[in-house]
Every structure is written in C-alpha cells, then in structure tokens.
Structure 1
Amino acid sequence: MKNVTESAGKSQTSMKNNMELTATRNKPSPARPLVTKPSVEMQLAAVVSASVKQVKGNKTNGKKNADKLKEKKRKKDNRTQKLAKTEEVAAPTHFPYFLDDYCPPECACYGRVVQCSDKGVDRVPYGIPYNSRYVLLMNNHISSIQLDLLDEYVSLEFLVLSNNQLTDGAIEGAFEGIPALKRLYLDRNLLDSVPTDLPLSLEELRLDGNKVSVMSEAAWAQCPGLLVLSFSNNSLGNGSDSLPSSVLSPLTKLRTLNLDHNQLTSVPLGLPLSIKELYLRGNHIGQFRGGAFNGVSELMVLDLSANRLSNRGLLRDSLLNATHLESLNLEGNRLKQVPQYLPRSLKTLNLEGNLISSIRKTTLSSLKHLEHLGLARNKIFKVAPGAFKALLVLHQLDLCNNSLRQVPRELPQGLHSVVLTHNRIQSVPRDAFCWGDKSLSLSGLVRVQLEHNLIDMGKLDAQAFRCLRGFQVVHFY
C-alpha cells in the first residue's frame, strides 16, 4: 500500500512538473516592438545616451558597463538572429561614440546629410554620426565647439556654422583634426581674426559678416589648396592703406576672392596670379596701383564698383598684367572720362553711375571684343560720331539717364539692344541706326528704347529707321 501511495505521489509530482514545463514553454514571450527604423533608432538613442554618459565620466568604466550590457543581451531568449544583429552595440572605443544610423533628436538626417539648422541649439548636438558628409548648423545660438569633438568625423566634407555666436577662442583647435573638410562656412559670427588651425584639405572658406580687421600670412600656410575665400562685410583695412603686401601669397590655387564692403583704400598688392574673380565692391578704394599682380594674371572678373576711383587713381599699369580680363565693373565711382589703358580682352564694361560727360571717337576703339557696355546714369551730353563704330561685336548699349540731345551716330551694326530712355533727345540722325554699305539691309536691332525724351513724332525722319525690322522695334512711349 505504501508503494502504491509513493508511486501515485511521484506520478502527481511528475505530472505537475510536466505541466509547469509546458506552461513555461507555451508562455508568450514579452511583446517586442516592430523592427522598424524609428523603433530601432529610439532604442539605439537610449543605449548611446547611456554609453556616452558613462564614457564621459570614465572611459574604463564605460567599457565595462558596455561589456555587461552586451553580455546581458546575449542571454536574452527567443531573439531572432536578425534582431540581435540589428540591436547589437559594440563597446565604445572613443568619445563620443555615435552610431552611423542614429540621428540626434534636434536634427533631421537624410542619408549622410545632417540638418540641424534653425533649431535654437546652443552647442553642437551630440550623436551626429561619424560617417556624416554634410553637417548644417546655421541660424542657431552656438557659442563654442567642444574641444576634439569633430576629430572623429573623417568623412565630413561640408560644415556650415553660419549665423551663430562663435568667437575666436570658442573655435580654437576645433577644425584642424577634420581630415576631409573641403567647405567651411563661418559667416555671420563674432570672429575678430582668421582661424590659424584650418585643415589642409580646405577648398572653400566663408568668413563674411564678422569683425575681421587683420589677417596674417601664417593663417593661409595651413590650407594652400584653398580655391574660394570670402571676406565681405568685415573691417579689413580699418584705416590703413590696405592688406599687407602678398599676405595671400601661400594661396597659389585661389580662384575666387571676395573682399566686398570692407574698409580698403587701395587694391591689395601681391595677389595670387591664380585668381580668376576678384570682388572689391563697396570699399574706400581711391587708387589702383600697379603691382596688384606681379606677373601675368589669370583674372577674368574684376568688380570695383561703389568705390572712390577717379581717373588719376587708375594708372597706366593698373591692369597691365590682367591680359585675360573679360568683365570690369567700375559702376558708382568718380570717373569723369572713360578710362584709358583698359585690357583689350574685355567683353563687359560697366561705367554706370559716374561723372562722364562725353565719349571721344577713339576712346573705345581698342576694345574689339566688347559685347556689353553700360554708360547709364552719367552726365553724357556729347558722343562723337562713330564713337561706338569700331565695336563690331557689341550687343547691348545702355545710355539711359544722361543728357543726350540726339541718338548717337553710326551705332554698331551688330547691336541688338540700345537703351536711350530719360535723356533730352529731340532727333534721330539718318546715320544713327542705318549707315555704310549695309544701310539698306536689315539691322540686327531688336529693341530701341527711346521713352521719356523730347522727340516730336511729327518731325521724325522716317529714313532714319529704314533698315529696322519694323516700328515695333522702336519704343517711344
């Protein structure tokens, strides 16, 4: 009877154990979030945040904590291989450790572009992936960059920090460790000088809208491959004559230099011969001395508008070495005559808003390649017959807002557009538009603007328009 009782007890115990085992096996595992990108990122964000805090306090303890976390993850049951691979976080080896597929909550990430602009942040957000190529942080309140924060960004090519509150001390040493950085925008900050620790890889630097008043040659020795340099709206010159001679000489590959709206009183000397575009608008320049380029320059575009240049300030050798110059802007200066000794390579010449009163016959005759000529807003009352005749490829001529009493004679036959509005024109000579051997053939003119003049339509000579394509070409009103 005892054996029977023991056997029954064992049987019940065995049955109970089997039921518990079955229940354990059939017990539903805890609900897991769907493996979607947002869910994974939220989990990774929490892990990264925890890891960063530990590492910041003590790198050794951080590694141990991370190892414990990794060991704990291995012991979890019923994890598929795919999910385990997705959620696995390797132990951090440096600070801070940011995952390639994580995006800081303050930013928006599009592939390898991280957009953190206009977010009101006061520092560079933690968590920007190390494989990022473009990081945009403009229009924030960033006043400093954490030391060595950017050193691990080995793929970073374009960094925008425009319109923040960065000062010289706040960025010291911040950029030298970025090995692939090509474009750096620091415009509209509070910088007083040029950073001296720029990366060797840099090709474009924008420092517009700061308070820079001086620069040294040493700053450029760090980035000799610079192609674009922009310094508009600063305080360069600051009462002195100009920049130190040859201060930009290390930049032997420089293509574009923008010095608009500074306080320069003369064109800088010893500029790199490689420069193709030079912008000096809105300075106090009254003199363009020879020696701006010590050798044949590659300069193609020169903007000297809104300065204080007079004819005496433009010397014979001012543009002597600019043999490739195609566009020259002298608008808004104090010129009383069309400058002499202009490069014959010119295609565009802007002389608007000066004090020019007359155009002599031979003044422009050497500019055989000129296509666009702006003479608006001067005091021109006299144009010698044939003054524009030699400009065979001239397409556009603007003489509006002057004091002309008649349409200039012998205008170029290749002209497409001529603007003569707001003058005192009373007559149109027969040889203004139609002259020479081709006077009976159709003119190339498609637009003649004569609005706001003193023309008496009843006294117009119809022969003056005989070569035009039709009266729709001429605009009187």
Structure 2
Amino acid sequence: MAARAGTTVKALPNTVIVKPKNKKTAAQPKGSLTLKTKKNKLPKKDKGKERKKKGQFLNKGKKVKKLTQDKKSKPTTASYFPYFEDHYCPSNCSCYGRVVQCSDKNLEKIPYGIPYNSRYILLMNNHIDSIQMNLLSEYTSVEFLVLTNNRLSDGTIEGAFEGIPNLKRLYMEKNLLQSIPTDLPGTLEELRLDGNQVSVMSEAALVLCPNLLILSLSNNSLGNESSTISPGVFLPLGNLRTLTLSYNLLSSVPLQLPLSLRELYIRGNRIQRLQGDIFWGKAELQVLDLSANRLTDKGLGKATLLNASRLESLNLEGNLLKQVPRHLPRSIKILNLESNFISSISKDAFISMPQLEHLGLARNKITKVAHGAFRVLPLLHQLDMSHNNLRQVPRQLPLWLHSATFTHNKIRMIPRDAFCWGRGNGSPLSRLVRVQLEYNMIDLGHLDTLAFRCLRGFQVVQFY
C-alpha cells in the first residue's frame, strides 16, 4: 500500500526499495514505491556445482535424444548382406544420380558397397579377374554394365550374369574370353566383346538373347583353322540390327544371317568371295563393309547380293578388284572402290546404279574413262578419283555434281565438255562447288577457258 507523507517505512527482510520511474503508468500512481523481492544468493562454490550438474543433465538429454533419433533412422525391414543406402558410394569411386563410376582405379575385384539401385556401373580399365557368384543378381535396376579392359576369362565369370533382370547393355571388350558367355540375360540388347580371344560361336549362347540388337565381335579369332562359324548360328537373333565381325580370320561371310540385319561390318578378314546364300529371303541390310579383304572380280557373282535389295552403302575398299563390280543392287547410294586395281571405267560400268550419290575411286590404276561413263548417274554428288593415272579430266561429268577430286594424277588437259555440256549451243549452269586439280601436269598458259564457261566462278577450280 502507498505510504503517507512524512511517514517512515521500514524495509522488510530481503526487500529493496526501488524509486519510481519518471514514466507515468495507470497501475502505478505518482509518488508510489515498488517492492522487488531478491532471489536467494548461493555461495560461489555451490553455484558452480549447480551449473556443472545442470550441464551434465543437458548433455545427457542430448545423447538420449540422439540415440532415439538413430534408432528411428534404422531400416524397419530386415537387411540382407550387403545392405547399402541408396546414397552410399564405394571408396575411390564417384557416384552421381544412379551412375557408379569406378573406372581406372586399379581394382582387382568388383568393389564392395555399390548401391543396389544403380543403373549404370562403369568398371573399365581395372585388373578385375573374376566376378563373385550371385553378386550381380542382386542388382535388379542395373541396365548398363561396363567391364572393358580387365582380366576376365571364361571360367571366372561362369554364372555371373544369370538372373540380372534388367541388364540391356554389356561391354566386355579387351578381356581374355574365348567364347560368348552362356548365361546372358534375355533382356540384353547390346553385347560388345571386341578385343578378346573368341574363337567359338555357340548357338546355345545366342539363343538366350532373342532381344539382342547389337553384337560386336571385332578383333577376335573367329574363323581360325580349328573353328568355323556354322551356317545359321546367328538365326536365333531374330531382332539383330548390327553385327560387327571385323578383324578376325574369316575366309567367308557367315551364311544364313538374320533377315532383320541392317548393318554388317566384316572389315579386315580373309574373304575371297561372297556366296549367294548369305540371306535366306529379302533382307533389311542397308550397310555392308567388306573393306580390307581379298575379294576378286569372280568373288562377286550375280547372286551375291540378290536378296540385299535395300542395300544403300557398300564399302569394297582395299580388295583385289580389277573392274567396277557388276550386278550390284540398284538401291546403292554410296560405293567405295578405293585402293583396288581398277585400270579403266567402261561406258556401262554404272548403268545399273541410278541411285548412286557418292563414288570413291581413289588410289586405283585408272588411266582411261569412257566418254560419258558418269553421265548415267543422275544423282551423283561426290566423285573422288585422286591418286590414279588419268591424263585428262573425264568427259561429260554429271551437271549436278557438287564435288570432284582429281588430285595426284597426270592430267594435262581439260576437255571442253568435261564440266560443261548439254543440248544446243549453250550449256546449263553447273552445280559444281569444288573441283580439285592439285598435283597434276596442267599448263595454265594453254588452258581452254571455254571448258569452264558453265561454272559459277573460277574460284570453284583449284589448281594449286
């Protein structure tokens, strides 16, 4: 209660008299006093003990809380060996998204700790010589597995790929395999075994992969004296699109290939002739590479590519041909005949190839080209006759030709009707963009300027 004026007020025990603030408040009339009770003070030693005790209690509470949280974070389902979190990554590897990059790490086995939800597992350029049994079958999400350039052999991978439910692409180039694994999953769409020692083709191995689209077996030992590829061994691959058998020891193209095949690469073998029963029926083949073999004129008979009526690109570079092959499919758009022994081009050499767009005749021994031999190619865009023995530019080149290369010949003369010819006195404007005539014997002082009358500018022709 408020004290009367002139009255003495005795302070109560543990009470401090506080002078009123200048600020007026409704609850505190002017001139009144406020009584504030002090807290009981403890000795300094006791106070320190209390703080220490309080801190211990708080720390204990934090530990209990942390243990409780850890307990909750543990998986509720029973873990199987080994158990990994989705975000886990093996030491020395790099993981991003669902890709595990463990290449070039000097690994001797598949590392422990690859997450089970991984889609791409990259293990190339290591020293892996075996795959633990049933290890890969736990990876139900993996689609792409790369084991290129390791030390895997037939015995050390037996049963390793069985039971992988979603594997689509398997790369095992540059290992020590002598045959195709016989436990590949049926989901596989691409298999690359280049640079191994494969010499045996087993139908039992391929029958398990009906969905295979790409099979690459280059740089192996297929076709050696002790083994041959049986006819029809690739037939179980009813969906196969691309087959690569380059740089083996094949003396012939495998027979009875799948009709679904669109690209066939057999470069760098020992093939001397093509047999007529490569395909049993109309094939989908569009690209055929037979370069760097031993094909002769007789090795390309009438029935050779009879069923390849959709063939667009044919590479016969580096063989033993002495003339332009006849009886090729009319569908061909790209023909490479470079580095053969062709000495002349007859007038009807290309009469059965109305779709031809690109023609390579470089590095042959051509000295003579019949008048108008290329005139029958209405769609020809690119012609390369460099590194031959031509003494003049061929006459009546197609007016729709875009690029013509005649470098490194013995050309002395350019006929008036080489680039410019047509009905009547005038010649239609040529579509040539580039004519290369470097490294020849042309005397620029005696050039017939009328030979270039239909060109769009002298910059089109290059003499130097």
Q: How high is the TM-score relative to the length of structure 2? A: 0.86
Which residue of structure 2 lines up, in the alignment, with residue 297 of structure 1?
Answer: 283
Q: Point out 4+ residue stretches in structure 1 off by more than 3 angstroms.
A: 19-22, 24-28, 80-85, 89-93
Number of equivalences = 417
- Cα distance in 1 between the residues matched to 2:68 and 2:311: 66
- The question of whether the paired residues in 2 share the 8 Å contact of 1:240 and 1:264 is answered with no
Say yes or no: does 1:471 pair with 2:458: yes
Say yes or no: does 1:316 pair with 2:346: no
Which residue of structure 1 lines up, in the alignment, with residue 103 of structure 2?
Answer: 117
Within 5 Å, give how 1:76-475 maps onto structure 2.
77-79=64-66, 85=72, 87-90=73-76, 92-239=78-225, 242-437=228-423, 440-475=427-462
- The question of whether the paired residues in 1 share the 8 Å contact of 2:199 and 2:227 is answered with no
Q: What is the CA deviation profile of residues 183-230 of structure 1, one whole-angstrom value per residue up to 9, with x for unaligned ones? A: 000110000111000001000000000000011111011111000000
**Which deviates further from its counterpart, 245-254 or 97-106?**
97-106
Residue type matched to 1:445 in 2? Answer: L
Shift of 1:93: 3.9
Shift of 1:95: 2.4
- Cα distance in 2 between the residues matched to 1:352 and 1:82: 74
Change beyond 3 A, Cα 1:405–1:242: farther
Tell me the SS of whatever aligns to 2:191.
strand
- Cα distance in 2 between the residues matched to 1:363 and 1:348: 15
Q: What is the CA deviation profile of residues 289-318 of structure 1, one whole-angstrom value per residue up to 9, with x for unaligned ones? A: 011011100000000000000011111111
Change beyond 3 A, Cα 1:311–1:30: farther
Q: Which residue, out of 11, 24, 29, partners 2:59?
A: 29
Residue type matched to 1:442 in 2? Answer: L
- Cα distance in 1 between the residues matched to 2:226 and 2:382: 39
Gaps of 5+ in 2: 1-45
**Which deviates further from its counterpart, 336-345 or 452-461?**
452-461
Change beyond 3 A, Cα 1:437–1:30: farther
- The question of whether the paired residues in 2 share the 8 Å contact of 1:242 and 1:265 is answered with no
Change beyond 3 A, Cα 1:116–1:90: farther
- Cα distance in 2 between the residues matched to 1:180 and 1:473: 56
Q: What is the CA deviation profile of residues 434-473 of structure 1, one whole-angstrom value per residue up to 9, with x for unaligned ones? A: 0013853321001000011111111111000000011100
CA RMSD of aligned residues (A): 2.1
Which residue of structure 1 lines up, in the alignment, with residue 14 of structure 2?
Answer: none
Select the structure of larger CA radius of gyration: 2
- Cα distance in 1 between the residues matched to 2:228 and 2:357: 33
Identity %: 63
Tell me the SS of whatever aligns to 1:151.
helix
- Cα distance in 1 between the residues matched to 2:461 and 2:69: 76
Gaps of 5+ in 1: 1-15, 33-75
Shift of 1:24: 5.1
Shift of 1:79: 2.7
Q: What is the CA deviation profile of residues 243-294 of structure 1, one whole-angstrom value per residue up to 9, with x for unaligned ones? A: 1100011000000000010000011100001010000000011111011011
- Cα distance in 2 between the residues matched to 1:83 and 1:433: 84
Q: What is the CA deviation profile of residues 115-166 of structure 1, one whole-angstrom value per residue up to 9, with x for unaligned ones? A: 0000001000011000000000000000000000111111000000000000
- Cα distance in 2 between the residues matched to 1:456 and 1:94: 84
Structure in which a larger fraction of residues adopt helix: 1
Change beyond 3 A, Cα 1:241–1:341: farther
Q: What is the CA deviation profile of residues 316-353 of structure 1, one whole-angstrom value per residue up to 9, with x for unaligned ones? A: 11100001100000000000000010010001000000
Tell me the SS of whatever aligns to 1:29.
helix
- Cα distance in 1 between the residues matched to 2:269 and 2:311: 21
Tell me the SS of whatever aligns to 1:463.
helix
Residue type matched to 1:446 in 2? Answer: V
- Cα distance in 2 between the residues matched to 1:230 and 1:299: 16
Shift of 1:240: 6.3
Tell me the SS of whatever aligns to 1:23.
helix
- The question of whether the paired residues in 1 share the 8 Å contact of 2:436 and 2:462 is answered with yes
Q: How high is the TM-score relative to the length of structure 1? A: 0.84
Q: What is the CA deviation profile of residues 414-449 of structure 1, one whole-angstrom value per residue up to 9, with x for unaligned ones? A: 100000001111100111000013853321001000
Shift of 1:23: 2.2
Tell me the SS of whatever aligns to 1:135.
strand
